[in-house]
Amino acid sequence: MIRQLAPYGTLTVRKDLNLVVDIIDVARWSPEVRIVFALHHVKHAITKGKGALRNGGHSIGVIDDDEVELVRRMIYAFGGGDNIAVTCAEAALRCDINDNLDMERMSEAWTELFVKAMANFLPGTSGYKAPTREEALRSQIWLETRGDLMPVELIKSIENISLDDIIGVYSQQGQVERTLAYLEQQRRYIITGEAVTRD
């Protein structure tokens, strides 16, 4: 699919990027390479100021609310209705995007999404069963009740939050649950990684 849409490795128009996100959204499962491919285009727009998301008028180092909403759609689409924590590759790309944003022009919507996505990623790597992505990105009261904090103030406010405030929607997994979750992940990888033949 990616080779067909981007024979040279990069999408050039927004409708093709929207198509990739739509496919991730409607598929029962998607290989991680699709979400990484889509997020790479957001990073490209932020760092180079061009590509599928940029048709002029956007500065390097800036993400607007429309682009933040697209990233939110990507997160929800890849997670589907299942309890899939944010993956390492997704988290790394989001960190790259965040690192390349101009702090003086930081979007409050981006800061909120970034913090919630990272808060979803960390417990998932520590043996906790993640809630659905929708629940994880929606349910943290400390973010929903933040008032009108500016992005920098929002990040500073996180210092006063205990792990219990964040981890309330997560549950500790036993060894058997972790093994079964790993096997399910491998099964999905086999299914989504299957080659599409001419037939």
Look at residue 87 in the predicted model and tell me its pLDDT.
Answer: 79
Rounded average pLDDT per 10-residue block, the chain, 199 residues: 88 92 85 90 90 77 91 81 70 92 88 82 63 59 49 52 49 66 73 72
Look at residue 117 in the predicted model and tell me its pLDDT.
Answer: 81
Look at residue 183 in the predicted model and tell me its pLDDT.
Answer: 75
Helices (H) and strands (E) counted in the chain, each on its own, are 11, 2
Q: Check residue 115 and report its DSSP letter.
A: H
Q: Which two tokens stand for residue 32?
A: 């991680």
| Nearest alpha-carbon partner for 41 in 23, 22, 20, 57 | 20
Q: Which residues pair with 46 in a beta bridge?
A: none
Burial 77-96 (b: 16+ CB within 10 A, else e): bbbbeebbbbbeebbebbee
Look at residue 69 in the predicted model and tell me its pLDDT.
Answer: 92
- Burial zone of 42 (CB within 10 Å; 0-12 exposed, 13-18 middle, 19+ buried): buried
Dihedrals phi, psi of 12, to nearest 5 degrees? -115, -15
How many other CB atoms sit within 10 Å of the CB of residue 120? 27
CA distances from 153 to 40, 66, 162 (A): 28, 23, 17
Look at residue 99 in the predicted model and tell me its pLDDT.
Answer: 93
Q: Under a CB-based contact definition with an 8 Å cutoff, are residues 118 and 91 in contact?
A: yes
